[in-house]
Structure 1
Amino acid sequence: MATNVFDVLKERGYIAQCTNEEEVRSLLENEQVTFYIGFDPTADSLHVGHFLGLMVMSHLQRAGHRPVCLVGGGTGTVGDPSGRTDMRKMLTDEDIEHNCNQFKKQMARFIDFSDGKALMVNNGDWLRKLNYIDLLREVGPHFTVNRMLAAECYKNRMEKGLTFLEFNYMIMQSYDFLELHRRFNLKLEMGGDDQWSNIIGGVELTRRITGDAVYGLTFTLLTKSDGQKMGKTAGGALWLDKDKTSTYDFYQYWRNVDDADVKKCLSLLTFLPMEEVRRLGSLEGQEINEAKKVLAYEVTKLVHGQAEADKAKEAAEALFGGGGSSENMPTIELKASDDRRLLDVLVEAEVFASKGEGRRLIQQNGLSLNDVKVSDVDYVLSAADFKDGEAIVKKGKKKFYRLIRNV
């Protein structure tokens, strides 16, 4: 007998909260369920936090259920206050449309949209057409201000001031569930655990207006063992777009996760069988590095494809294992006559966010050129630094860059 996908999600550690565990499990056992997760287009790429949601969607689709990927062309005009201490930047309609289109391209790597197996829907299609008074009369009586103010998503904003604009976000997201239920007989909304208040709002609104049984489920947030959000880098978020986070840097992020986080990441971010996850997660000492290599390769393969994962792995082995090729490292191209300060070159290439950051690292002996520590902040590159037109810069313990000098 096939395993219920609810049990799969539970075993792998995805499920945080559920409106009714027994009923949701039974629903997934006995029906082909249409469900949705929403993605607000706050940037032109999905990041690793979204990736967790895509993994949940993929598990359910593999079990025969139908995902609806909802991009927030409507809710994106307001901005979700969940987990925020300040108001989000207002996006233009052009920004929102561009970002939604980028999301669609990335999601297609994880979700099969052929033959109606999954749907891509934009909530701008209905939210932008709503009549304000009609919305108030239909939806308003089902929300109490007291209950809304008690929601976790608004608590961080109460001291600094919660705008009426953001206060409407829960109502808009709740209306999405109602609209999707009417259009597609959708019965389940899922999202990160910080969305629990908004999801409950949609479940209750849809039940009260239609009388139908609908459900909500949240999955665990991607956090480190110390409770901090995973996927934050010195340069910002860990993006799924390789133009924003290079495939090599993406691979290296997972290669360097804390030992305590390896098992959790293997469980949530790969499709490896749980027996293998447990085996790899139980390794200790130097052996845990083998598990990290598997993690880095599997996650990179899912996000960027096998060919890109192979390149990233080969580049890493060139640096750490003494074999392979340096060709797949992040590369900085210079002209033949480019005799500039190394610091200026690295700041221009955004290896350092500022000259101050670069100076500090050099003063702390944290920068090497061709395995030699750079001690002079004013060190000027010359032809002697390039062997066969190539030089290798090491930033800190684990970041490597290839300098190419074009003849």
Structure 2
Amino acid sequence: MPARTSSPSCGRRAAMSESLAQRAAALDAADELAGARKLFALDEAVYLDGNSLGALPAHVPDRVADVVNRQWGQLRIRSWTEGDWWSAPERIGDRIAPLVGAAPGQIVVGDSTSVNVFKAVVGAVRLNDDPARTDILVDATTFPTDGYIASSAARMTGRRIVPVDPADLTSALGPTTAAALVNHVDYRSGRLHDLPGLTAAVHEAGALAVWDLCHSAGALPVGLDAHGVDLAVGCTYKYLNGGPGSPAYLYVAERHQASFDSPLPGWTSHADPFAMTPGYEAADGSTRGRVGTPDILSMLALEAALEVWDGIAIETVRAKSLALTDFFLECVDAYVPAGRVTSLTPAEHASRGSQVALRCEDAPRVMETLTARGVVGDLRRPDVLRFGFTPLYVGFADTERAARVLAEVLAG
């Protein structure tokens, strides 16, 4: 029986694979963020789901053990003062502030993203309390919870929800607009929206801009102060690696803080919380965004996790993010047969977050098989494969491997 020979196309694919793998190795060798990878507890899998849950910073378990065993176990109630638990929401907010372009004193950490969206939307309407401004514009492609919360906020404040595609937001603004709630990065497609331009348009219409930063904070520059954002919210368990269910945060621009009227006034946002008076008087500054007792275990785990950002510039992270997603799209184009996947993520850098979303037939089976083969991404039903690129621990060799395995799964 004659020996089997490889087809010319197989030879070309093998040469292309070798070439891309060599480029990946060279890019990793030149990567100035490569040293950050060792700060995380990682295995051999390619982890491309950090836009759902960030990887564990390796030092966090020991820090949490200290909080549990010494601060809670030994110091007990004394840790509110001796361990400085009381100031954690503002202290950690100031730690997050440089990552989103905010000066100190404008971010408070606590509660969930959903709760903070509620505070921000109702707070925005109360700040812009003109009876003629009857509309709250909401990103029509938003993560569902934002829409649910905004609808409830509208009912509570007597306003009307107006769903608008971000591409049409500017034309939808007008004298009846009270506030606009927009996602900085679309959770499904990875599209990056124009925060500076849209914020300016919202202000030109006399309205307030509320931004959801869940899929941008820790992946790219935001510039809250520089671009005049009014209020913003975000989670900390994605690119900030704070852990499952880690507390979210609320940004209230300094110029609005004295008038910010939270719809959820709690005892820890009181000007004198331990007076226990029946009447409410809001604290000054970002503290008035608090509600109840902080979740100390999650809060201090987040504080420890944020140490991986010491000495790292968000601009450097953005440059690597774009390089990774460019390289992934190039590898997908080289390895995956034409027509098998379609990118939903914009090719233009100015419109791309830190993820790539691919439309794919039989996506649930494909993602299940990818995960079994050590490439962990995310599925958005019915047909979207979503891959998040966290520059602190994802490398170019990871990226090439992910595209190659995807092609193998689709071929199988």
Q: Same fold (TM over 0.5)?
A: no
Higher relative contact order, structure no. (Cα contacts within 8 Å, ≥ 6 residues apart) = 2
TM range (shorter): under 0.3
